Structure 1
Amino acid sequence: MSETGYGDFEFERRFYVEELPEVVMDDPTPTLIVQNYFLAQDGYAIRVRLQAPGVRLHMTGAEDIDALLEEHAGTFDFCAITVKGPMNGGTRYEAERELDITQGLNMLQRGTNRVIKNRYSVWLGSDGWVIDVFGGSNFPLLVAEVERGGPVTDLEIPSFCVSEVTEDKRFSNESLSHAPFARWADQYGVELGGVGPVFLDSLGTNVFHD
Structure 2
Amino acid sequence: MNDFEYERRFFCHALPAEYRKGNPPELVIQSYYVHSNNYVLRVRLTSRSINLVMDCDTYPIDVLHNYRDAFSHAYVTVKGPASLGTRYEKEMEIDTRIAAELITRGGDTVIKNRYSVWIAEDGWNVDVFGATNAPLIIAEAARSGPVTNLTIPKFCLTEVTDQPRFSNESLAASPFSRWAGEFEAELSEKGPSFQQVFGTNKMGD
> TM-score normalised to the size of structure 1?
0.94
Q: For the Cα contact (< 8 Å) 2:158–2:193, is it kept in 1?
A: yes
Moved over 3 A (4+): none
Judge which range, 175-184 or 61-70, deviates more: 61-70
Whether 1:118 and 2:117 are equivalent positions in the alignment is no
Task: Determine the C-alpha separation between the residues in 2 that align with 1:163 and 1:97.
Answer: 32
- C-alpha RMSD of matched pairs (Å): 1.1
Distance of 2:147 and 2:179 partners within structure 1 = 28
| Contact 1:27/1:121 (8 A) holds in 2 | no
Q: Secondary structure at the residue paired with 2:40?
A: strand
Tell me by how many angstroms 1:124 deviates.
Answer: 1.1
1:183 aligns with 2:199: no
* Cα distance in 2 between the residues matched to 1:121 and 1:26: 12
The structural deviation recorded for 1:27 is: 4.5
- Alignment-derived partner of residue 80 in structure 2: 85
Report the Cα distance in structure 2 between the residues aligned to 1:64 and 1:43, rounded to whole angstroms. 25
Q: How many residues align?
A: 205
Note if contact 2:126-2:140 (Cα within 8 Å) is conserved in structure 1: yes
Secondary structure of the equivalent of 1:70?
helix
Q: Please identify which structure carries the higher strand content.
A: 2
Instruction: Give, in whole Å, the separation in 1 of the partners of 2:77 and 2:184.
Output: 31
> In structure 1, how many angstroms separate the alpha carbons of the residues matched to 2:18 and 2:7?
20
Distance 1:185 1:171 in 2: 11
Q: Which of the residues 36, 41, 59 maps onto 1:46?
A: 41
Measure, in 1, the Cα distance between the counterparts of 2:86 and 2:34.
20
Cα drift, residue 86 of structure 1? 1.0
SS state at 2:172 partner: helix
Q: Distance in 2 between matches of 1:64 and 1:167?
A: 27
CA 1:120–1:27: 2 relative to 1, 3 Å: farther
> What is the match of residue 168 of structure 1?
163
**What 5-or-longer segments of structure 1 have no aligned partner?**
2-6
Instruction: Quote the Cα distance in structure 1 between the aligned partners of 2:91 and 2:20.
Output: 29
Which runs of structure 2 are paired with 1:145-164 in the superposition (5 Å)? Answer: 145-164=140-159
Helix, strand or coil at the partner of 2:68: coil
- 1:28 positional shift: 2.9
Q: How big is the shift at 1:67?
A: 2.2
Residue among 3, 8, 20 paired with 1:13: 8
1:162 partner amino acid: L
The answer to whether 1:33 aligns with 2:52 is no
Q: Say if 1:83 and 1:95, in contact at 8 Å, map to a contact too.
A: yes
Q: Is 1:98–2:93 an aligned residue pair?
A: yes
Q: Check conservation: 1:27, 1:120, Cα contact below 8 A.
A: no
Structure-2 separation of matches of 1:132 and 1:55: 15
**Does the aligned pair in 1 maintain the 2:149–2:202 contact within 8 Å?**
yes
Q: Which residue number in structure 2 is paired with residue 4 of structure 1? A: none
Q: Secondary structure at the match of 1:73?
A: helix
> Once the two structures are superposed, what CA deviation does each residue of 1:40-87 show, in whole Å capped at 9, x if it has no partner?
011111110000113231122012322210222111111001000111
Aligned residues: percent identity? 45
Q: What is the deviation of 1:100?
A: 1.0
After TM superposition, the score normalised by the length of structure 2 is 0.97
**1:207 counterpart = 2:194:** no
